[in-house]
Amino acid sequence: MNRIGIYYAYWAQDWMVDMQPYVDRAADLGFDQLEVHAGAVARLDRAGREALRDRAAARGLALSYCIGLTREYDVAAADAAVRAAGIAWLEQIIRAVGEMGGGSVGGIIYSAWPEQMPAGMRDKRPALERSIASLRQVAPLAEALGVMLNVEVVNRFEQYLLNTSAEAIAYVREVDSPSVRLMLDTFHLNIEEDSIGAAIVAAGPLLGHMHIGETNRLPPGRGRIPWSEVVAALRQIDYRGAIVMEPFVQVGGEVGRDIRVYRDLRAGRDLDDEARAALAFTRAALA
Which are the catalytic amino acids? 152, 246
Interstrand relation of 33-37 and 62-68 (parallel, antiparallel or unpaired): parallel
Helix (H) or strand (E) holding 86: helix 80-99
> From residue 158, how far is each of 49, 163, 186, 191, 273 by CA, in Å?
30, 9, 15, 12, 29
- Please give the span between the terminal C-alpha atoms of the chain, in angstroms, as a whole number: 9
**C-alpha–C-alpha distance, residues 116 and 119, integer Å:** 9
Asked whether 247 and 218 are in contact (CB, 8 A), the reply is yes
Q: Among candidates 283, 217, 208, which has minimal Cα distance to 1?
A: 283
Cα dihedral 273→31→240→225 (10° resolution):
10
**C-alpha–C-alpha distance, residues 271 and 40, integer Å:** 23
Q: Among candidates 191, 196, 247, which has minimal Cα distance to 219?
A: 247
Which of the 8 DSSP states describes residue 114?
S
Q: Among candidates 253, 254, 181, 255, which has minimal Cα distance to 217?
A: 255
Helix (H/G/I), strand (E/B), else coil: 142: helix
